[in-house]
Structure 1
Amino acid sequence: MRKLWKKLPWIIAGLILLISLFNPSLLPWLLLAAVLAACLFMPKRGLIGPVDLPADDAFLPTEQVQWWYWTGHLYAEDGRRFGFEVVFFSFDSFVIMRDQLVQAAITDVDGNRFVFEEFVEFHLPQRGKNGFNLSSGSGNKVTAVGGDGHDRLHAAVGDYVLDIELQATQPPALHYGGDAHPYRFGGYTYYYSRPKMETSGTLTIAGETFTVSGNSWFDRQYGELYQAIQQGWQWFAIELADNRQIMLFDFKGNDSEVEKSGSITDAEGRTVTLAAHEFQVTVLDQWVSPDTGCSYPSGWEIEVRGEKFSVQPLLKDQELHARHGLWIGPVYWEGACDVTGAVGGQAYVELNGYCRCPAGNGG
């Protein structure tokens, strides 16, 4: 029954097309009936109250756009270093426009390689309670199962296979105080993170398996986010060696007139919001992709409440630029970085909108 319900919008669209071929004069009435049906059966849109955990780890049918987003830094027993990204985007635009975009990437720092995979699923995730069970790709190449701060990820990316478990070791960071945040340019977001997730498991490379461990950062965001996606942003997930985590973003680079914000989580897991005047991001260099010709910031100086940090990519080329036949996926840069300065550490940075092609996360 659940599988039939997922396919219902496509069945309806097929019936409308079939009937209109035999009797074109009925097409306007059929489209009107489809719109009315969508209004009656689609979930109510809009604000749903403050973040409620672990309930909001699950797929939320009231929200147009939402994502589950993991990035992390992993180390093999011999010291070899890796970064990873796993993300499930869900888009519910209309009764027949319901899909998921799924991406996974591995940064092999010592091997000087960056590989990624992308999949499109023409259905929404299954509803759950207090958690998620997400999968995509032939043979479930990318899966994410969990909730309430205990997740399991699997990703087959080229000749890399990642299997890890993640356990949150501090309370979630509720951005904007856990309530809805309206954007000046339209739309709104709910946004929380689990920036300290102890991670362990295996990474298999061309048949050779390495035991890996490290830390992962989980971002969950949902709301009316199409306007934000169109703006483009820089997003920083900074993990400092003194056990603090800093999240920063600014739309359209350093244009504070559009919007920028952030948060800082202390060693005890207490999160406070950073106002726009409390931090500054300065781009130090640019990198031009040999694959797309797009130009991205590459290296940043960041000042947060008087502390200065330098953030540098571990590899220049960490650009995702997938293609699916006639359909072109989003093009953006998301990569593992080193942090030096007042306190050392590591970071993940996302650059969306620099190819004039939307992606998602952050903000």
Structure 2
Amino acid sequence: MRLKLIPVLAALLLSGCAPVQSVVNPTQLPSPTDFGAHANPMEWWYVSAYLPGEGLALHWAQFRVQDSRVPLPQMISHVAVTDLRTGELTFLEQPAGTGEATSPPLRLRQGAWTLTQAGPAPTAPLSLKAGPLDLTLTPVKGPVLHPPGYSGNADTGLLFYQGITRLDLTGTVNGRSVRGQAWLDHQWGNQIPGQTALWDWFSVQLDGGRDLMVYRVRRPDGSVAQLIGSVVEPDGRVRAVPGLRAEPGEVWTSPTGRSYALGWRLVSDEFDLGVRAVRREQELLSRAARIAYWEGPIEVTGTWAAAPAVGTGMMELVSGYWAP
């Protein structure tokens, strides 16, 4: 009976039906080098990459959820790979089960899928082996805590937000040799995705070495609870974006009837950038996480400090709770 209850309870937590612990204090921020694991209801590690030269986009996520009704933390993971040359989208999931999460050095394991760091240094290379992915990720910059240090607010719950915005990527995808650049996110706290919070998220790697993160957290009714942005300079310094606005444009309706804004204008005191989805058909329906969301590659053009700016990245738009 317990084995049958474990995935059910993990899904309940992800869908927001389990009690949410108020254990996140936004005045006590973690270190940028804190890769986890933590005693919070929700935690995840996330690697994403758009590889224009390879015609590929990918992301991998490892969730770790905790609930008092389950004796051990539960791991849920998935991998998505888009072949932009053929239009094929592959989405693989591992349902809730036990696993491993330790740091430092960072080591995550669920079944045969692993993310392991070569040593305790925050910039030590990482090895990601998950389904079709066999990758080495070497940080180009050090870890940062994205200002103000967390996503969300008292309405939605909070997630501390730490990661590495640029890593050299080498290895294979489905046995095919690839190279490019990746992005690593790590968040933890008491926010339940798809239930207490929805969001629109952008990771942009600009030509010249500058990285931009924009995060628009929404309440379940669609109203905006928080809009934050951070710039990571080529030398690794991080700062908040002043005067940020995120303006949705073109809307696409998926075959399931959900709407996603696939065109955006990101504006601040120093930049004016247009965001365009490379491919529309990127909606993902996660049986394990019980979430419907759009995730795919983007191309970015515009100006930064009155100079031309060009970049690429990934965009994630969370629609909400989904049950198969």
TM-score range, shorter chain: 0.7 to 0.9
Q: Deviations over 1:32-76 (max 9, x none)?
A: xxxxxxxxxxx995549432354x21322x22111001101235x
Partner of 1:315: 279
Distance 1:44 1:274 in 2: 28
How big is the shift at 1:99? 2.1
Q: Deviations over 1:59-94 (max 9, x none)?
A: 22x22111001101235xxx4321110000111122
- Kept in 2, the 8 Å contact 1:299–1:311? The answer is yes
Report how far residue 316 of structure 1 moved.
0.5
1:230 maps to: 196
Deviation track 1:307-358 (CA, whole Å, cap 9, x = no partner) reads 221111111011111347xxx8311111111112221110111111x24449
CA RMSD of aligned residues (A): 3.0
Instruction: Spell out, residue by residue over 1:242-298, the C-alpha distance to the aligned partner (whole angstroms, 9 max, x if none).
Output: 211111111239x785211111111211110125xx1211222111112x2211111
1:163 alignment partner in structure 2: 134
Decide which structure has greater strand share: 2
The alpha carbon displacement at 1:101 in A equals 2.0
1:102 corresponds to which letter in structure 2? S
The residue that corresponds to 2:163 in the other structure is 193
In 2, the alpha carbon distance for the partners of 1:258 and 1:177 equals 14
For residue 260 of structure 1, what is the amino acid of its counterpart? L
For 2:240, the equivalent position in structure 1 comes to 273
- Contact 1:83/1:109 (<8 A) preserved: yes
Residue matched to 2:109: 135
Structure 2 spans left out of the alignment, 5+ residues: 7-20, 304-308
* 2:306 aligned with 1:334: no
Aligned to 1:117: 92
Match of 2:65 among 83, 91, 112: 91
Q: Identify the match of residue 282 of structure 1 among 217, 222, 247.
A: 247
* Mapped pair 1:183 → 2:153: yes
TM-score by length of 2: 0.81
Q: More relative contact order in 1 or in 2 (CA 8 Å, sep 6+)? A: 2
Which residue number corresponds to residue 45 of structure 2? 68
- CA pair 269-229 structure 1, distance change in 2 beyond 3 A: farther
User: Percent of aligned pairs with the same residue?
Assistant: 23
Greater Rg over alpha carbons, structure:
1
Cα distance in 2 for residues equivalent to 1:272 and 1:87: 26
Q: 1:53 to 1:261 in 2, by over 3 A?
A: closer
**Which stretch of the first structure deviates more once superposed, 111-120 or 233-242?**
111-120
Matched residue pairs, number? 296
* Alignment gaps of 5+ in structure 1: 1-8, 15-42, 359-363
Kept after mapping to 1: 8 A contact 2:286/2:322: no
Partner AA of 1:52 in structure 2: S
Query: 2:217–2:224: 8 Å Cα contact kept in structure 1?
Result: no
Cα distance, 1:239–1:53 mapped onto 2, change above 3 Å: closer
- Counterpart position of 2:181: 215
